[in-house]
Amino acid sequence: MKKIILSLALALTFLALLAVSAAADSPVVGSKQYLYVEDGVDILTDEQKADLTARLQRLSDTYQIDVAIAVFQSIYPYGYSDDMDFADSYYEDNGFGRGSDRSGIVLVRIMDTRAYTYDTAGSCKATMSDEHGLDYYDYETGLVSALKRDDYYTAFSEFINGSEFLLNYEKENGYAYGDEPVPAFSLARTVGSLFTGFLGGLIPVSGMKSKLKTVRQQVGANAYARENSVAVTRANDLYIGHHVTRTVRQTERSSGGGGGHYSSSGMHHGGRTGHA
């Protein structure tokens, strides 16, 4: 019996070691209730960390989404080369997101490249939309300028304040920031439609008008070529040279914005990466 218990204990220990070894290759750092602030490089004091964590937790509970912050020295030790891919994995592997659509937003700061990435999922893809909501963080808060001067507590406070503003904006207005309902009447749309309609209307009317014209000069004398009278007596095709031209290929790279993107696991995310 003792041997069996010992064998089970050894097996469990081995499995635990395997799990720890695997965890070292991914940005999973623990259970999420303690990870609203993940400071992997000790840039925040304990007091700052506690304050930010409390505010993030309150915000997350109030709006039933996850709002979190993470700081890493580099993404390369984890086997990543793209900040967005890293943020996607950090979000998914740590189990962020609430509700069936796993709504939430995570701000990931990478120290060596000075990259900062917003990673959104679920309803937050609309609340903090790539087109408008993320612009609010960048241009309407002091987040970016604080990151530039390495004032991380201020930067993350601005992120929390910005998130609260965007969430509250949606709650009060019924639509996300920058996503104002389109009015049924728009002068520009009316003028544009009328102009296009006028041009479009010209097509069928011009067709009707062209049917009134039946007097046309003949181009050739095809109708008078004697049947089977065409005989090709000589056909000569001479190659006289060639030239090659080359142009530089235009390469396209996804910015991670627009309509969002899919992570390697297949989950749909929003977000984008900047440098400051």
Partner 1 sequence: MAELMEYKCPACGGALEFDPGLQKMKCPYCDSTYEMSELQGKDEQLTEGEAALNTPLPADEMNWNTNAGGEWSAGETDGMRVYVCNSCGGEIVADQNTAASSCPFCDNPIVMMGNFTGALKPDLVVPFKLDKNAAKQALRNHVKGKKLVPKLFSDENHLDELKGVYVPYWLFDSEADADLRFRATRVRAWSDSRYNYTDTEEYLVERSGSISFDAIPVDGSSKMDDTLMESLEPYDVGEAVPFQTAYLAGYLADKYDVTADQSVERANERARKTAEAVFSSQVQGYTSVRLESSSIRLRESRVRYALYPVWLLNTSWNGEKYRFAMNAQTGKFVGDLPVDKKAYWKYLLLYGGIIAAIIYLIVWFMQK
The answer to the question of residue 247 lying near partner 1 (CB under 8 A) is yes
Cβ neighbours for 41, distance < 8 A, ≥ 6 positions apart: 71, 72, 73, 111
Count CB atoms within 10 A of the CB of residue 48. 17
The rounded Cα 95 to chain-centroid distance in angstroms is 19
User: Of 218 and 264, which CB lies nearer to partner 1 in the complex structure?
Assistant: 218
Contact characters 101-140, partner 1, x per CB under 8 A: ----------------------------------------
- Distance CA(164)–CA(181), nearest Å, equals 21
Whether 169 and 176 have beta carbons less than 8 Å apart is answered as: yes
Interacting span for partner 1 (CB under 8 A) from 20-28, 104-112, 191-199, 259-267: 191-199
Residue 66, φ and ψ in degrees, nearest 5: -100, 125
For the CB of residue 149, give the shortest distance to partner 1 in the complex, in Å: 40
Q: Choose which of 114, 148, 171, 189 interacts with partner 1 (CB under 8 A).
A: 189
Interacting span for partner 1 (CB under 8 A) from 17-25, 75-83, 113-121, 245-253: 245-253
Q: Give CA separation, 112 vs 4, 5, 46, 83, 162, in Å.
A: 49, 47, 22, 12, 25
Element (H, E) at 165: helix 152-173
Q: Choose which of 174, 181, 259, 266 interacts with partner 1 (CB under 8 A).
A: 181
The answer to the question of residue 190 lying near partner 1 (CB under 8 A) is yes
User: Of 139 and 239, which CB lies nearer to partner 1 in the complex structure?
Assistant: 239
User: Of 25 and 180, which CB lies nearer to partner 1 in the complex structure?
Assistant: 180
Q: Degrees (nearest 5) of the Cα angle 36, 37, 41?
A: 155
Interacting span for partner 1 (CB under 8 A) from 107-115, 126-134, 220-228, 262-270: 220-228
- Partners of 270 in the β-ladder: 120
Residues that bind partner 1 (CB under 8 A): 181-182, 184, 186, 189-190, 192-194, 196-198, 200-202, 204-205, 208-209, 211-226, 229-249
